Structure 1
Amino acid sequence: MIFELTGLAIIAVITGIPALLATASVPFAVLSAPQERHGRIRRRYVAGGFFVSFFGVWMMAFGAWAAREDTRYGIIDWATITLGTLAGGGLLVFGLGPFASWSLEILGRYAERLPLPVRLAARDLAGRRATTAPAITLTMMATAFGIALTIIAVGFTAQLRATYVPQARPGTLLVGHFPAEHAGTVRAAIQRELPGVPITQSEIPAEDRSFDAHAENVYLTEESMYSSEVIGDETLLRYLTGDRSTPYDEGTAVVITAADVKVDSVDLIGMGEPPKVKTIPAIVARTADPQMETIFVPTKVVRDLGYRLEPDELIVDPSLRRISAGEQERLDVRLDGVADTYIERGYESSTGWMVVAAAALLVALGCAWAAGGGPAASSRPGRVLRRAGGGSAATFRWFGASRTGLSALCGTVLGAVAGCPIGMLLMWPLTAATSWDSPPRVSFETPWPAIAAVVVALPVLAAALGWLFAREPADRAPDPEKAP
């Protein structure tokens, strides 16, 4: 219980500090936004924000450099590096707070040559930065989170796919983790649910005694899904090699390997003091898959050594019958928890992160709508649009689309500026080895097409929403400039 609470406390600190730093960008944006319609942002806010963001990037780069080695890191070292990198990401987002107001100022200043609805939309957003800048900052935060999560998830997927070790040949049904006394019940359940399906099995010594099989000049790869030996009958040998013509003799071992070696015998080394060694004849069977390498030992040989065997796994060879997911579900119901079933389908990546990323992008879209949605904030844009467009609904729709699209564009670009370095640099501490069996890293590929799609799609979707829900301002008072 104490260790669980300590772990939760560490997680809360590691995630809470950067979250607070990032959230502080909203009040920073409010503080830096000028209250006057035509006021300009004070340069010290932009310079200060740039310095804070630069320092945050430096912290993340230092954390990535510190975690670059493919060696084991202690949990304290790892937590320190990860916290520093995450804090750097929070500082990066915090420093970008004033840039929401600054981007609106630039839009309003350089919008002279844009079409009238776009020009008025840019000026309207820039004229009320005290309210639009915080909403755009929230858009930036949500976009940065979604992009960083996408980069990290893609990197983790590549890492897990490259180091995935299958448990069987593709399409194989494995039924295991059952007590030896229930082996007959499990086999009968499979036969009832899958009538006529050939079933083979691997076996293990029933007692605590065991042995190792060793062949000269034969070294199994670390990626092999089996231990040094597999015990079974002729049907298991056919499954292991994937070749129905592999010769079988109940007194001869078979070295299944992808290497070009010659083997005449296999030593069976029993555990004990002194260890007992029995040498049996052997042949070689080639396999194209290094992960299937093992030494097959016939059941009769092991029993002749005085071992009592019991079933380890029941196997359905995919070359004889492919089991569907529906059949596996029905078999699970029939077994009722007595045994576990597994079908080897290769590495299957998780898609749960996509839901979280999509939710973050929807939040970004909502914040952009909050910044640029609704009727015009002042009567002047409405009067100008009536004079220039004849008061048509299309003119006001273009104005609404421009306003929401521009607000989303500012937040999305700033979010990409923050999310890309956060995701790319945070990958290093998150994939650092903290246990002895952690695999080395693979190369991280940034999903630039997906990032570009987000940067383009969010403003377009926001503009579409602005077009659909555009409302003409209710204020129809005469223009004071035309008053007598």
Structure 2
Amino acid sequence: MSALLAALRISRRGIGRARARSALIIVMIGLPVLAITAVLTFGATEEIRPEERLTMDLGSADAKLTDARSTQPIRQDEAGRIWRQKERDRPPRSRADMQALIGQGSRIIPMNQSFGEFWAGDGYAIAAVREVDLRDPMAGGMFPLVRGHYPQAADEVVVVASMKAAVGETLRYSRDDVPKRVVGKVVRQPLSDGNTIIGLPGSMIPATATSVPLSVPGADRFWLVDAPGPVTWNETLRLNRAGVAVESRAVLEDPPPAEMMPQPAGGQIFTSFRGMTILTVVLGVILVVIEVVLLAGPAFAVGLRRRRGELALISAQGGSARHLKLVVLADGLTLGLAAAVLGAALGIGVARGIVSYIGIWPAGALGPFEVPFGRIALVAALAVFSGLAAAAVPAVQAARVDVVAALAGRRAEPRNRAGWPLLGLVLLVAGVGAMAFGVRSSSAVMFFGGVLGLLGMVMVAPMLVRLVGGLAGGLPLPLRLAARDAARNRGRTAPAVVAVLAAAAAFSAVAVEVASDARLAEKHYRALYPIGTTAIYGADVTEESWRKIRPIVGKTLPGVPLLEAYHPVDAKGVTVNFHPRDGRVGCRSCMTWTGPLGELPAGGPGLLRLLLGRTDLAAEAALAEGKAVLFDPGTVSDGRVRLDVWSQTTDKVKPRVVTVPAVAVTVRGPSLVTGVMPVGAITKAGLAPRLSHLIVDPAVAVLTPQQHQRLSGPVRAVTSKVAVQTERGTISNRDDRNDNVMWIMAAFASVVALGGTFAAAGLAAADARPDLDTLSAVGARPGTRRLVAAGQAVFVAGLGVPLGLLAGLVPGLAMAGQRALERDAVQGVGLNGVLYGKVGLVLSVPWPALLAVGVGLPLAAALIAMTFAGTRVTPVRRTG
């Protein structure tokens, strides 16, 4: 029998005799495998590839065409996504044009999509709107019926089954309350909007009289094609040259070779980004492996101590150091393999349960159940490697076993390696330096610094445990026993302390980064209006809508005057922009902060006083005389300002230059606008003024949140093109995702910290059972044993958690600094050409959260350890 087979056989028998410890190791290694496998499987199921979306996107059609409205050739990927085209400089093609382009023998039908509103009972709700004749065979399978039938007339629609509208009910569609009768319910497509309404082409999305260009912003127009043969990649390239993108069933089912696919621009940047991402993932995997080794390593160390006699017998019978190493490594291989298999199987089962609960399309919101066996195999291999790595240090120790001491039953005193603490300190300093350097370079460098720092802590931890254990002389007896036992068994205690420290540091780093990012966002916030201003605004609001809105404002805010702001429109009603041709020179990496008022709003003296921030009688008089008031003196020359006038139409941009009488006033710091125009200047430029704002001056009234709510609802009910905003000077609607990240990281840190603490405490309790039995034999009460167990848990958690929280401040500061530098790299410019000051480093430490974790976790560990501590005395036979 070979040495490896003999080692595996000895390992199997040893695992059977120490079932509790073996199960603990399997859990430590298998839990990450279970979690990662479940995430990978669910992610693969949730990610619907283009070939899996064929029925959802194409129905039974052979292809779907998208008119890019470009006179130049376009480039696309195999799924029909356009990644290179020039301006949309051509009107959309008609159905006859598309039919001629695709060729005779093919049949096409239109399919349009956009967004609309419907009355939901307590207000208008947003819905995705589709226009397609679902009765046509080409649309077969796209939206399977749940009940009812497909629309047969323009006033009929079907809705997804999740919407509350019942079959036979009349739906009030759009703000005009157009009646649409619900005649059926269909299955909702995965990853689509919750509310979806489907009608016949031309029945819901407004179009021009010729039914060619869609007039709704954001509306998309497609054509489904039934071709006599497959739409090949060569046919796709031909249509690309005509400015048409193609999603072809034949291409997705049989993609062309990579050399035939056009490569997108910026390939080097993409490759560099991909390489950096891979490096970051690799470093993250290394951190996970180290954490698993730290958690499972103490169990192998205790197992080695329990088997010293057995290993000594093997050595006495002629076993070499290599044989002893093989026996311990066989434990890691066997337990790692068992953990990998069980973790992967349970992870797939958990993912399957979640997918079954959510549902697979067409019955649910997920794609076909898919198990990424290749990636799961890598995770399993990583688990086996983790088991071997966790057993590596005990294996080296086994090769150095003192045969005489082991056979006599004497404990070997742990030896300190003089050079390890010093090397650990060097790695800690190098890790901190790498994280500091990563602030200006990349996240991968910061991850690398974290790996170095964690390795440094592994080397320093035994000395730290010994020093802390030596300070326990003044503690009560149970706690003193626990501390000295932890210091005496540093090989078991130190890895657990480092594992807990790493989990707490991860939470602390994320907490500091999230809190700093929120604070940084507040510092970088750019107000759209002067602080306290309430604006009712909309660029495309009709005069009739404004007439309805004014009484609503008057009823909510009686006696409060309203300031008016206008913007110019051309004869077609398209917004026109004025931009001063001359002015201060900014910087190339600057970004101009604009708002709903635009660059040069038109209004009266009240608007000027509001935006200027003070009363300037001379400027107000000039505005009343028909002169523009500019906040940037460099834009005014000889009492006049030259303005570039341009508008974005369905054709091309057609700029022209107009000259307007003007005066300049000095504004300190960045301004919200470049100046204020007189309304008459718009008319003189051959344009028409359109009301865009009704403004409540904060000097007159500042709305409370309750007043804002009472005003916003009725105003929004008039038209969806109007909005109400009160400028508070901060981000009013804070995203709760940051708080969710904090809670998730706190839960993760708690699970890992408590798991590592209980593993170490459990191993310590099992290791110290003879000593505890001796205490009971000399009269110690059960409470003493509970206090010893609590002390063992407090030693690990009380040392690891606070140190981890403090250590996590370093990477947290580094990540916050990197984010601050990224934001300051793009300098903000006010509309009068003045730069916003750089915010610089912003660090916010959530001390209450850190304090709660730092105190709460050790106390929770102590209470749980006391509750579940074993108090039964097992008499042992002592020899010697």
Interval of TM-score (by shorter of Structure 1 and Structure 2): 0.7 to 0.9
For 2:556 and 2:739, the matched residues in 1 are separated by 42
Equivalent residue number for residue 422 of structure 1: 811
Match of 2:499 in 1: 138
1:279 aligns with 2:661: yes
Match of 1:403 in 2: 792
Query: Which of 192, 196, 201 lines up with 2:564 in the alignment?
Result: 201
Report if aligned partners of 1:287, 1:293 keep a CA contact under 8 Å in 2: no
The one of 275, 291, 295 aligned to 1:26 = 291
Take 2:814 and 2:640, find their aligned partners in 1: how far apart are those partners? Answer: 50
Please tell me whether residue 251 in structure 1 is matched to residue 625 in structure 2. yes
One-letter amino acid matched to 1:91: L
> Would the alpha carbon gap of residues 366 and 250 (structure 1) be closer, same or farther in structure 2, given more than 3 Å must change?
same
Measure the CA separation in 2 of the matches of 1:335 and 1:24: 59
Tell me which residue corresponds to 1:346: 729
Deviation at 1:168, TM superposition (A): 0.4
Secondary structure at the residue paired with 1:24?
helix
In 2, the alpha carbon distance for the partners of 1:203 and 1:266 equals 23
Equivalent position SS for 1:137: helix
Point out where structure 2 has 5 or more consecutive residues left out of the alignment. Answer: 1-80, 84-263, 306-410, 646-654, 829-836
**1:408 touches 1:459 (CA, 8 Å); kept in 2?**
no
For 1:122, the equivalent position in structure 2 comes to: 483
Whether the 8 Å CA contact 2:433–2:449 is kept in 1: the answer is yes
**Higher relative contact order (Cα pairs below 8 Å, separated by 6+ residues):** 1
Deviation at 1:460, TM superposition (A): 5.1
Deviation at 1:456, TM superposition (A): 8.1
Post-superposition Cα deviations, 1:362-392, rounded to whole Å, max 9, x if no partner, equal 4333333334447743434544665788516
Structure 1: how far apart are the matches of 2:632 and 2:641? 21
Distance 1:429 1:334 in 2: 44
Alignment match of 2:414 (pick from 24, 33, 40): 40
Instruction: Give 1:73's aligned residue.
Output: none
Query: Between Structure 1 and Structure 2, which shows a larger proportion of helix residues?
Result: 1
The partner residue of 2:695 within 315, 318, 321 is 315
**Would the aligned equivalents of 1:251 and 1:301 in 2 still touch at CA under 8 Å?**
no
CA 1:384/1:308 → structure 2, altered by over 3 Å: closer, same or farther?
A: farther
Alpha-carbon deviations, 1:280-304, whole Å to 9, x = none? 5x586x8788645642222123323
For 1:156-175, list aligned pairs within 5 A: 156-175=517-536
2:874 corresponds to 1:477: yes
Q: Contact conserved, 1:86 with 1:426, CA < 8 A, in 2?
A: no
How much has 1:441 moved relative to structure 2?
5.0
Tell me, what secondary structure is at the counterpart of 1:165? coil
Separation in structure 2 between the aligned mates of residue 100 and residue 336 of structure 1, nearest angstrom: 66
CA 1:173–1:275 in structure 2 vs 1: closer, same or farther (change >3 Å)? same
For 2:461 and 2:778, how far apart are their aligned partners in 1?
Answer: 30
CA distance in 2, matches of 1:97, 1:244: 67
8 Å contact from structure 2 (residues 424, 456) kept in 1? yes
Match for residue 741 of structure 2 among 328, 353, 356? 356
- Give the C-alpha shift of residue 231 in structure 1: 0.6
Gaps of 5+ in 1: 68-77
CA-to-aligned-CA distance 1:123-173 (integer Å, 9 cap, x gap): 444566676555443322221122222333344345433332210022323
Answer with 1 or 2: which has the greater Rg. 2
In structure 1, the residue matched to 2:545 is: 185
- Between the aligned residues of both structures, percent identity stands at 19
2:479 pairs with 1:97: no
Kindly provide the amino acid, as one letter, of the partner of residue 251 in structure 1: E
> Secondary structure at 1:470's aligned position in 2?
helix
Stretch deviating more after TM superposition (10-19 or 381-390): 381-390
CA contact (8 A) 2:716 2:723 kept: no
Call closer, same or farther: CA 1:106–1:212 in 2, change over 3 Å.
Answer: closer
Residues 251, 300 of structure 1: 8 Å contact kept: no
Secondary structure of the residue aligned to 1:334 is helix
Alignment of 1:330-479 (within 5 A): 330-331=713-714, 334=717, 337-348=720-731, 352-373=737-758, 376-377=765-766, 378-380=768-770, 382-383=772-773, 386=776, 390-391=780-781, 393=783, 395-396=784-785, 398-416=787-805, 418-433=807-822, 437-438=826-827, 442-444=839-841, 446-447=843-844, 450=847, 454=850, 458-459=854-855, 461-467=857-863, 470-471=866-867, 472-478=869-875
Calculate the TM-score normalised by the size of structure 1.
Answer: 0.74
**1:43-90 CA distance string (max 9 Å, x none):** 3765665554444334333333xx2xxxxxxxxxx6xx3322332223
Q: Is the 8 A contact 2:569 2:690 kept in 1?
A: yes
Q: CA 1:334 to 1:404, structure 2 compared with 1: closer, same or farther past 3 Å?
A: farther
In structure 1, how many angstroms separate the alpha carbons of the residues matched to 2:874 and 2:788?
19
Q: Which residue type is aligned with residue 544 of structure 2?
A: G
SS where residue 640 of structure 2 aligns? strand
Q: In 1, distance between residues paired with 2:774 and 2:712?
A: 66
Report the CA distance shift for 1:381/1:450 in structure 2 as closer, same or farther (over 3 A). farther
Is residue 486–residue 792 contact of structure 2 (8 Å, CA) maintained in 1?
yes
Tell me the CA shift for residue 206 of structure 1: 0.7
Q: How far does residue 121 in structure 1 lie from its aligned partner after superposition? A: 2.1
Shift of 1:38: 6.0
Tell me: CA distance 1:354–1:141, structure 2 relative to 1, closer, same or farther (3 Å). farther
Q: 1:229 maps to what in 2? A: 600
2 CA distance for matches of 1:294 and 1:227? 9
Alignment match, 1:295 = 675
CA deviation profile, 1:334-372 (whole Å, cap 9, x unmatched): 256433443312123656434423433343333333344
- What CA distance in whole angstroms lies between the structure 1 residues aligned with 2:827 and 2:777? 69
